[in-house]
């Protein structure tokens, strides 16, 4: 199973209002992202399938500046709308990002407009002029004229890569200990990636107080859930939907067994280095499921005696 990694970002003009209304804007972000993905994927001209995915809120850039965005990890396919079959995405392609970006933009702007009409926003001193309806409408029109960035990263090769991604990004805030270089003379040095120069790794130095200020920008409102599940991964239907997905994927894999003995992923795994000598190559003779291992396990007539020496 391949997984796609889709990132939704918002224009910098929205950052100040988002920071002043974090719980509200983050909720609207999750809503717009989920509805855009589900709607575009269900379109018969696109994938014509029902998706299941989880989304993770991030609020930081590599330099610890405030930059709210959402990462989504999506299986590269979905259930047909009638639930009768599994529909796979084309290889190395998930959904067209430009229509997805514009759909996301429209849904978030509509959410912002509704929230303003309902009086849900707070406007601190620097944003007080936006409390006036005509100013707010003009501000929304400016956001609509901006192209919002949505991009799909290279698909995860194996489920193990999904777990590695989760371990790095879901349960930490802003910066990992591994990026910290030094604390000396009241300044903190840390490594950061420069996206404008081919993701080149460099170092940045900040006054310790400024470093702490930037770090604290990313502490979420108390009790806010930053990892959420949507589509057939949502809590209310996850068990039945996942069982159906496994059933359909298993049937598809069995149907293809007569055509190829090993999948491309398994062939790559067959070339792994020996974990002991690190020189020889592992040659995989056969792949066995857990159930097959149990069947082939020799049945012992009596328990194995313990070594009493």
Reported as a single tens digit per residue, the pLDDT across 38-55 is 999 999 999 999 999 999
> Are 185 and 146 in a shared domain?
no
Q: Answer yes or no: is 119 within a domain.
A: yes
Among 93-102, 176-185, 278-287, the minimum mean pLDDT is found in: 278-287
The answer to whether 230 and 55 are in contact (CB under 8 A) is yes
Q: Is the pLDDT of residue 300 over 50?
A: no
Q: What is the pLDDT of residue 161?
A: 74
> Are 187 and 157 in a shared domain?
no
Q: Is the pLDDT of residue 231 over 70?
A: yes
Give every CB contact of residue 309 below 8 A, 6+ residues apart in sequence: none
Reported confidence tier of residue 172, pLDDT bands at 50, 70, 90: confident
Q: Is the pLDDT of residue 309 over 70?
A: no
Q: Answer yes or no: is 139 within a domain.
A: yes
Q: In what order do the strands lie in the sheet with 187-194?
A: 180-184, 187-194, 200-207
Q: Answer yes or no: is 43 within a domain.
A: yes
Q: What is the pLDDT of residue 291?
A: 54
Q: Answer yes or no: is 28 within a domain.
A: yes
Q: What is the mean pLDDT of residues 295-304?
A: 45
Among 14-18, 260-264, 271-275, 288-292, the minimum mean pLDDT is found in: 260-264
Reported confidence tier of residue 292, pLDDT bands at 50, 70, 90: low
Q: What is the pLDDT of residue 268?
A: 52
Reported confidence tier of residue 222, pLDDT bands at 50, 70, 90: very high
Q: What is the pLDDT of residue 93?
A: 82
Q: Answer yes or no: is 309 within a domain.
A: no
> Are 58 and 193 in a shared domain?
no
Q: Output 163 or 36, whichever has higher pLDDT.
A: 36
Distance (Å, rounded) from C-alpha 13 to C-alpha 26? Answer: 15
Cβ-count burial 103-112 (b if 16+ within 10 Å, e if not): bbbebbbebb
> Are 83 and 194 in a shared domain?
no
- Token pair of 149, please? 């960035």
> Are 125 and 237 in a shared domain?
yes
Q: What is the pLDDT of residue 156?
A: 67
> Are 185 and 110 in a shared domain?
no
Total domains in the chain come to 3
Reported confidence tier of residue 274, pLDDT bands at 50, 70, 90: low
Q: Is the pLDDT of residue 297 over 70?
A: no
Reported confidence tier of residue 226, pLDDT bands at 50, 70, 90: very high
> Are 72 and 18 in a shared domain?
yes
Q: What is the pLDDT of residue 58?
A: 94
Distance (Å, rounded) from C-alpha 283 to C-alpha 267? Answer: 10
> Are 125 and 201 in a shared domain?
no
Q: What is the pLDDT of residue 164?
A: 74
Q: What would the DSSP string read from start to end of the chain?
A: --EEEEEEE--GGGHHHHHHTHHHHHHHHHHHHHHHHHHHHHSTTTT-EE-EEEEEEEEE-TT--EEEEEEEEEESEEEETTSSSEEEPPTT--S-HHHHHHHHHHHHHHHHHHHHHTT-----GGGGGGGSHHHHHHHHHHHHTSPPPEEEEEEESSHHHHHHHHHHHTSS-S--GGGEEEEETTEEEEEEEEGGGTTEEEEEEEEHHHHHHHHHTTPPPTT---EEEEETTSTTTHHHHHHHHHHHHHHHHHHTTTT-SS-HHHHHHTTPBPTTTSSSBP-------HHHHHHHSPPPSSPPPP---
Q: Is the pLDDT of residue 288 over 90?
A: no
Q: Is the pLDDT of residue 71 over 50?
A: yes
Q: What is the pLDDT of residue 304?
A: 38
Q: Would you mind telling me the total number of residues written for the chain in this entry? A: 309
Q: Is the pLDDT of residue 273 over 70?
A: no
Q: Which domain holds residue 9?
A: 3-172+220-246
> Are 41 and 115 in a shared domain?
yes
Q: Answer yes or no: is 305 within a domain.
A: no
């Amino acid at each position: 199973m391949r997984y796609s990694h889709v990132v939704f970002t918002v224009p910098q003009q929205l950052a100040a209002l988002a920071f002043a209304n974090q719980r509200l804007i983050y909720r609207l972000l999750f809503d717009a992202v989920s509805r855009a993905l589900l709607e575009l994927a269900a379109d018969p001209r696109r994938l014509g399938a029902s998706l299941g995915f989880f989304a993770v809120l991030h609020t930081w850039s590599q330099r610890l500046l405030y930059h709210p965005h959402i990462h989504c990890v999506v299986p590269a396919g979905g259930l047909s709308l009638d639930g009768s079959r599994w529909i796979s995405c084309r290889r190395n392609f998930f959904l067209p990002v430009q229509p997805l970006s514009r759909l996301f933009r429209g849904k978030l702007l509509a959410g912002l407009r509704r929230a303003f009409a309902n009086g849900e926003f707070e406007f601190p001193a620097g944003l007080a002029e936006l409390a006036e309806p005509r100013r707010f409408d003009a501000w929304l029109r400016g956001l609509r004229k901006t192209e919002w960035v949505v991009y799909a990263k290279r698909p995860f090769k194996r489920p193990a890569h999904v777990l590695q991604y989760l371990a790095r990004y879901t349960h930490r805030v802003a910066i990992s200990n591994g990026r910290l270089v030094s604390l000396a003379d009241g300044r903190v040095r840390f490594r950061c990636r420069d996206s404008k120069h081919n993701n080149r790794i460099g170092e940045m130095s900040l006054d310790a107080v400024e470093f702490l200020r930037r770090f604290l920008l990313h502490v979420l409102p108390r009790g806010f859930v930053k990892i959420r599940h949507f589509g057939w991964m949502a809590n209310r239907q996850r068990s039945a939907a996942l069982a159906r997905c496994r059933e359909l994927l298993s049937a598809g894999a069995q149907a293809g067994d007569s055509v190829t003995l090993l999948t491309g992923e398994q062939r790559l795994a067959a070339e792994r280095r020996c974990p002991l000598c690190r020189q020889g190559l592992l040659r995989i003779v056969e792949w066995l499921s857990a159930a097959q291992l149990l069947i082939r396990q020799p049945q012992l007539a009596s328990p194995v005696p313990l070594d009493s020496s």
